[in-house]
């Protein structure tokens, strides 16, 4: 599914949190981008410390039904080559990228429930996947999401999730904070791991989509398998960075 070099122009940007931004790029060449929900693009981000070409991969956060532009969610890391490049882009600036790429996409059909476990910017590919699921009227299973971050200020797209839940009764989401403020009652005061794992007994033939922190994915996958979840048939993963040894 990998495409050749392509170009897009920065059309808009807005902060989602203190360090995470949303960037909308208008397609230039070709005029449209066709992809499957969950895939990513690889953006050319200048050069590294030793002059080597620098590229970074970002999941597409916009619906796959939209082709003339796409949205990326970028966590800006101080001193990071890619963060400095993207964070300083001016409106109208053209970027070069390849893609779409990746195999973290929805199964063609689901016999039962669909479960998402996402941390941090791992929420980005989940949104277009939800939009795609909403277009499948023959699937009647529940759609569940556990979204985890550290602090309250790290949360984003909760308004979009609320709107989707109101429009689609099959969908339910819960928030998890590992460092919640005192008195916070908007969700779980923990990681997403125990909630995703204990859901097994309550679900009908679930398929799990785990995305974000590599350590989270490694642990949740292991615990799910211990509870009888088949790794090949029921677990899909996309790590935004590798799990530690």
Q: How far apart are CA 54 and CA 10, in angstroms?
A: 19
Mean pLDDT, residues 75-82 taken together: 88
Q: Is the same domain home to 47 and 119?
A: no
The count of other CB atoms within 10 Å of the CB of residue 163 is 11
pLDDT confidence of residue 215: 95
* Closest C-alpha to 99, from 31, 5, 22: 5
Q: Detail the DSSP E strand segments found in 30-113.
A: 40-47, 53-59, 69-75, 94-101
Cis-peptide, bond into residue 100, ω within 30° of zero: yes
Q: Is the same domain home to 63 and 137?
A: no
pLDDT confidence of residue 52: 72
Q: Is the same domain home to 211 and 118?
A: yes
Give the CA distances from residue 13 to residues 23, 63, 71, 86, 118, in Å, rounded to whole numbers and listed in that order.
4, 17, 9, 10, 23
Residue 139 within a domain = yes
Q: What is the pTM of this model?
A: 0.94
Q: Is 84 or 203 the better-scoring residue by pLDDT?
A: 203
What integer best gives the mean pLDDT of the chain? 94
Q: What total of structural domains would you count in the chain? A: 2
Helices 126-134 + 158-167 axis angle, to 10: 10
- State pLDDT tens for residues 101-121: 999 999 999 999 999 999 999
Q: Is the same domain home to 176 and 226?
A: yes
For residue 46, name the pLDDT band (cuts at 50, 70, 90): confident
Q: Residue 188 is part of which domain span?
A: 114-241
* Closest C-alpha to 63, from 5, 106, 116: 106
pLDDT confidence of residue 49: 66
CA dihedral 104, 58, 55, 77 (to 10 degrees): -130
| Cβ atoms of residues 117 and 72 within 8 Å | no
pLDDT confidence of residue 241: 80
- 3-state SS assignment for residue 163: helix
pLDDT confidence of residue 48: 66
Q: Is the same domain home to 92 and 199?
A: no
Residue 108 within a domain = no
Question: What percentage of residues in the chain have a pLDDT greater than 90?
Answer: 87
């Amino acid at each position: 599914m990998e495409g050749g070099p392509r170009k897009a122009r920065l059309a808009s940007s807005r902060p989602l949190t203190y360090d995470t931004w949303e960037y909308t790029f208008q397609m230039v060449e070709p005029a449209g981008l066709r992809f499957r929900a969950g895939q990513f693009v690889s953006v050319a981000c200048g050069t590294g410390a030793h002059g080597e070409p620098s590229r970074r991969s970002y999941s597409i956060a916009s619906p796959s039904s939209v082709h003339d532009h796409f949205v990326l969610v970028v966590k800006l890391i101080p001193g990071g080559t890619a963060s400095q490049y993207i964070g300083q882009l001016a409106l109208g600036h053209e970027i070069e990228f390849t893609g779409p790429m990746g195999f973290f996409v929805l199964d063609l059909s689901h016999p039962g429930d669909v479960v998402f476990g996402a941390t941090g910017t791992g929420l980005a590919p989940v949104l277009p996947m939800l939009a795609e699921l909403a277009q499948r009227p023959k699937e009647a299973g529940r759609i569940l999401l556990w979204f985890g971050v550290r602090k309250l200020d790290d949360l984003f797209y909760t308004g979009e999730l609320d709107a989707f839940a109101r429009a689609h009764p099959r969908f339910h989401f819960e928030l998890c904070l590992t460092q919640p403020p005192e008195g916070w009652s908007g969700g779980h005061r923990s990681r997403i791991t125990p909630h995703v794992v204990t859901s097994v007994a309550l679900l009908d033939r679930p398929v799990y989509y785990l995305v974000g922190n590599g350590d989270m994915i490694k642990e949740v996958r292991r615990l799910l398998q211990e509870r009888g979840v088949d790794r090949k048939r029921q677990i899909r993963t996309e790590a935004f960075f590798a799990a530690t040894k």
